[in-house]
Structure 1
Amino acid sequence: MKWTTPYWSIRLFIVVATAVSSFSATAQVSKTSPSVEVPSTKVTLGAIRWDNWSLDSPYGQVLADPGLRERVPYYTQRLPNGNLGFPGNTERALNADVHYAKAAGLDYFIFGYYLESAAWERDPGRAAALNRALTNFVRLPDKLGIKYALNFNLSFPSRDVPMVSAAISKALLGSDYMRTSDGSAPVFFLVNTLATWSKGLGGEQGAKAALNDIRDRVKATTGRDLYLVALLFNLPETGPVAHSLGFDAVSTYATALGANGKSLPYASCAALARNAWQAAAKDGSGGFLPTVTLGWDYRPALRDAQEKKNRKPNPDWCEAATDEEWTQQIRDAINEAANNPRNDRFRSVVIYAWNESSEGGWIQPTLSEGVRRLEVIANAAGRHPTIPPFKLAWPTRIDPKTCPVGSSSISTTTAGAGCKSANDLMTMAWPCPPGMQIAGEELRRDPSEEGEKIPIIWQERLCTPQSR
């Protein structure tokens, strides 16, 4: 089906516009204020999610390269046809994500939300599939205090305002939705080009009316006020316009770069972001959420035919960062968020990203990096919570006919030769979070996650706190 505004277009949005177009990509590293002046407890940390990772999605094959193991998510598995599967939207993966996020000191996820509307020739079924990760997150019985916020990744026409309002109201009925200091609910909108976004709502006056209508509808349904955040590019120019439309704060999805086919040291990429922060703080008339971009390099995504068709072919990219460079950037962002007097309602940092693996920004554990990025964020923010014991579970490549797992599980240490999983360089990395250790591993026989009657062998790993 042809989509007037395709569901994959969020990835194009980030490429065609740059968050730092007012600054040269070769700018010198700007001077920064000393780190850690502000306790991180005064600032919340949110991570952007892009959840088009599923077993039935061919998109994941862009990562099917041993040279990209630092990007390949911990949950990757080998499918019967030999391809890699990326079940990142399953409940077991979301349960692991919650524990990893808690260990990193994050406060909330920013879920990309796709309105299940048929407007502009869109497919509501496809939107529901893209929202599956959020659905499974909400179903988790224990989220360890990790909250969430919605990010409307696509623009929408005026007739969909009631549907937008209903989606927000439904989310606010639960206790896991993020709150600002005054109890309002933050809602993000990936606006990209303000003129185009507003056009779908009838122009600037229509956009103002739509935002007010959304506020009023949600208030009438839930009793909650909203804190609306526009994710923009070219902030010095677009930020003031967004505030005039009625957004309470502005931010950006990521610090994107140009299309000259060259690399930039991470220090230069970080400096570009800080320059944008300073410009937004100087020229803005409302709240501002600084974004920490952990990496930017979408060259692997060009292996997908659709991505190659819609992205610039010669992107610039950020070189890999050191732990120290990430730490500095995170602490600078925390200070920026805390010291801006217009952030009194919501002092927060947006981190790009939890799982933008093909685009170059991720926090989640990967095959070769393990939990490195979780540790960096936790150390930078000075947050090291104690996490209760829990189990990770994933399907193995063990033939059930050769492994005598009956009605009860068996220990991997006592299992016979037929219970050994095939060695696969591109799968099987479900690490315990930082501060936790493996306390036991067992195999069990159960149906597959698709509910098929034919059982498979699952591996369970018990993670427990390390003694300190």
Structure 2
Amino acid sequence: MWTAPYWAIRLFVVLATAASALPAAAQQVDKSSPSASATASSTKVTLGAIRWDNWSLDSPYGQVLADPGLRERVPYYTERLPDGNLGFPGNTERVLNADVHYAKAAGLDYFIFGYYLESAAWGRDPSRAVALNQALTNFVRLPDKLGIKYALNFNLSFPSRDVPMVSAAITKALAGPDYMRTNDGSAPVFFLVGSISTWLEGLGGEQGAKTAMADLRKRVKAATGRNLYLVALLFNLSESGPVAHAVGFDATSTYATALGANGKSLSYASCAALAQHAWHFEAKNGLGGFLPTVTLGWDYRPALRDPHEKKSRKPNPDWCQPATDVEWTRQIRDAINEAANNPRNNRFQSVVIYAWNESSEGGWIQPTLSEGVRRLKVIANAVGRHPTISPFKLTWPTRIDPKTCPVGASSISIAAAGAGCKPANDTMTMAWPCPPGMHVANEELRRGPSEKGEKTPLIWQERLCVPQGR
């Protein structure tokens, strides 16, 4: 069971009532957008994808997706556990390696990792934070990230006494070569502020927050020589944005375009128009940089199946209907143009995409069981990025009994494997598609230990993906 402070990060998103705060005109589709039918120029605008990484084999959270009717949300790496439940090892190194290749194929520039300060402040359990940061830890360990960078997003508020710990976490991240940079070489750092009044309260009010932000910059600059570009992820931008800039944030954005709690279905075009209204408001009235957010989907009704989520969320949410490829393309291109044309974005022109893996809330990019790599293709086509990726292997554990499959010291090809080497048919597992522009060149089986180092042997499947035409 998670403690209340961790669930609060989800509650921030739920309590946002962006739809009710905007005029009715914003719910109409802007069909006059010049980028709707023209390829957007994305050479100077970077794309970052938000991550929420509470996906692990020992987390019960993923069971909200254990429904054949939700296969379009179920991640490609899902596996069946010995007890019959589904497992979601999304924080493992093999999944992060696959994610990097998928992100590259989609034309993304960086991941925005939700980071949990390993602090005991306010009764929090540091060991929970360590577990939630495991995906980031394994990402950093990857020997080749194909140029995919990352940025930290502090998902929890913190007291002033934890500023040294926050600066230490940033300093550690900047020591490596893979941290994202702005146009002037600064390091972008995100903070999930949500309700700014609550966030400021933890720092002793506006003056305390201003002091904390200045202290944070000073500490990191002294340790790394780098300047920071601080981004506040807010809701109710018109009211919260000026306060965020006043206390020291360089830019604002939002986590997602959330809706109200009236149990209504909105077309994706209406949801997109709500976001665009916020973009235009910030472009006209903002006091600093602004990163427009593209929300790929919003529908957290499946999450209400989890008892903990049900306690902290509005029980009757509004939701966005699924988008077409054309609607996503329009929204992505419009966001890129918005970021590129805002004169206050000279230091950092970037778009935030919600999200890489918010499967229970309704926003995801990663391949899934029934959609495959559809969303990767949409983004790549929208931004005109189609990189060539070198051959690589996808690896996952099968449900093959090692006693029935003659895998010895070396691997064997799928073609040469006998009848006992066929994995059990399970429509809720084992997708692992090759990225767009690649195809399966070879598949082999090998014997190895379990992921947790247990002695019980497993049969692992290795899929070699190579560029089309090879």
When normalised by structure 2's length, the TM-score is 0.98
Distance in structure 2 (CA, Å) of the matches to 1:392 and 1:119? 40
**Does the 8 Å CA contact 1:198/1:204 hold for their aligned counterparts?**
yes
CA deviations 1:444-464 (Å, max 9, x no partner) are 000011001111000000000
C-alpha displacement of 1:441: 0.1
Distance in structure 2 (CA, Å) of the matches to 1:174 and 1:19? 37
CA deviations 1:304-330 (Å, max 9, x no partner) are 000011100000000000000000000
**Does the 8 Å CA contact 1:391/1:463 hold for their aligned counterparts?**
yes
Q: Which residue of 2 aligns with 1:228?
A: 230
Deviates more, 1:12-21 or 1:269-278: 12-21
Q: Which residue of 1 aligns with 2:247?
A: 245
After superposition, where does 1:248-327 map in structure 2 within 5 Å?
A: 248-327=250-329
Letter in 1 for 2:391: P
For the residue of structure 2 that corresponds to 1:440, the secondary structure is: strand
Q: Which residue of 2 aligns with 1:12?
A: 11
After superposition, where does 1:145-160 map in structure 2 within 5 Å?
A: 145-160=147-162
C-alpha displacement of 1:32: 4.4
Distance in structure 2 (CA, Å) of the matches to 1:386 and 1:412? 26
Q: Which residue of 2 aligns with 1:184?
A: 186
For the residue of structure 1 that corresponds to 2:458, the secondary structure is: strand
C-alpha displacement of 1:128: 0.3
For the residue of structure 1 that corresponds to 2:327, the secondary structure is: helix
Distance in structure 2 (CA, Å) of the matches to 1:141 and 1:385? 19
**Does the 8 Å CA contact 2:443/2:463 hold for their aligned counterparts?**
yes
CA deviations 1:39-71 (Å, max 9, x no partner) are 201100000000000000000000000000000
Distance in structure 2 (CA, Å) of the matches to 1:8 and 1:258? 19
Distance in structure 2 (CA, Å) of the matches to 1:37 and 1:457? 45
Q: Which residue of 2 aligns with 1:219?
A: 221
CA deviations 1:105-152 (Å, max 9, x no partner) are 000000000000000000000000000000000000000000000000
C-alpha displacement of 1:30: 3.0
Name structure 1 gaps, 5 residues minimum. Answer: none
Distance in structure 1 (CA, Å) of the matches to 2:5 and 2:32? 40
Of 462, 465, 468, 2:464 maps to: 462
**Does the 8 Å CA contact 1:38/1:338 hold for their aligned counterparts?**
no
Letter in 2 for 1:440: N
Name structure 2 gaps, 5 residues minimum. Answer: none
2:203 matched to 1:201? yes
**Does the 8 Å CA contact 1:301/1:359 hold for their aligned counterparts?**
yes
Distance in structure 2 (CA, Å) of the matches to 1:428 and 1:193? 40
Distance in structure 2 (CA, Å) of the matches to 1:437 and 1:425? 21
C-alpha displacement of 1:38: 5.0
After superposition, where does 1:381-460 map in structure 2 within 5 Å?
A: 381-460=383-462
CA deviations 1:300-357 (Å, max 9, x no partner) are 0000000011100000000000000000000000000000000000000000000000
Distance in structure 1 (CA, Å) of the matches to 2:401 and 2:352? 44
Change beyond 3 A, Cα 1:21–1:281: farther
**Does the 8 Å CA contact 2:217/2:227 hold for their aligned counterparts?**
yes
After superposition, where does 1:116-131 map in structure 2 within 5 Å?
A: 116-131=118-133
After superposition, where does 1:330-409 map in structure 2 within 5 Å?
A: 330-409=332-411
Of 45, 51, 56, 1:49 maps to: 51
Distance in structure 1 (CA, Å) of the matches to 2:367 and 2:405? 29
Of 128, 137, 142, 2:139 maps to: 137
Distance in structure 2 (CA, Å) of the matches to 1:118 and 1:357? 29
Same amino acid, percent of matched pairs: 82
Query: CA RMSD of the aligned region, Å?
Result: 1.2
Distance in structure 2 (CA, Å) of the matches to 1:109 and 1:341? 25
Q: Which residue of 1 aligns with 2:111?
A: 109
**Does the 8 Å CA contact 2:39/2:384 hold for their aligned counterparts?**
no
2:23 matched to 1:27? no
C-alpha displacement of 1:19: 3.9
Distance in structure 2 (CA, Å) of the matches to 1:175 and 1:32? 42
Distance in structure 2 (CA, Å) of the matches to 1:187 and 1:447? 38
Letter in 1 for 2:124: R
Deviates more, 1:11-20 or 1:219-228: 11-20
Distance in structure 1 (CA, Å) of the matches to 2:40 and 2:69? 39
Letter in 1 for 2:30: S
**Does the 8 Å CA contact 2:47/2:109 hold for their aligned counterparts?**
yes
Distance in structure 2 (CA, Å) of the matches to 1:67 and 1:237? 40
For the residue of structure 2 that corresponds to 1:177, the secondary structure is: coil
Q: Which residue of 1 aligns with 2:212?
A: 210
**Does the 8 Å CA contact 1:32/1:332 hold for their aligned counterparts?**
no
Aligned length: 467
Letter in 1 for 2:439: Q
Distance in structure 2 (CA, Å) of the matches to 1:462 and 1:10? 38
For the residue of structure 2 that corresponds to 1:327, the secondary structure is: helix
After superposition, where does 1:81-120 map in structure 2 within 5 Å?
A: 81-120=83-122
**Does the 8 Å CA contact 2:39/2:383 hold for their aligned counterparts?**
no
**Does the 8 Å CA contact 2:255/2:354 hold for their aligned counterparts?**
yes
Letter in 2 for 1:132: Q
Letter in 2 for 1:23: L
Change beyond 3 A, Cα 1:37–1:376: closer
For the residue of structure 1 that corresponds to 2:6, the secondary structure is: coil
**Does the 8 Å CA contact 1:398/1:422 hold for their aligned counterparts?**
yes
Q: Which residue of 2 aligns with 1:60?
A: 62
CA deviations 1:372-414 (Å, max 9, x no partner) are 0000000000000000000000000000000000000000111
Distance in structure 2 (CA, Å) of the matches to 1:388 and 1:84? 31
C-alpha displacement of 1:10: 1.4
For the residue of structure 1 that corresponds to 2:272, the secondary structure is: helix
C-alpha displacement of 1:37: 7.1
C-alpha displacement of 1:29: 1.6
Distance in structure 2 (CA, Å) of the matches to 1:406 and 1:337? 55
Distance in structure 2 (CA, Å) of the matches to 1:304 and 1:383? 38
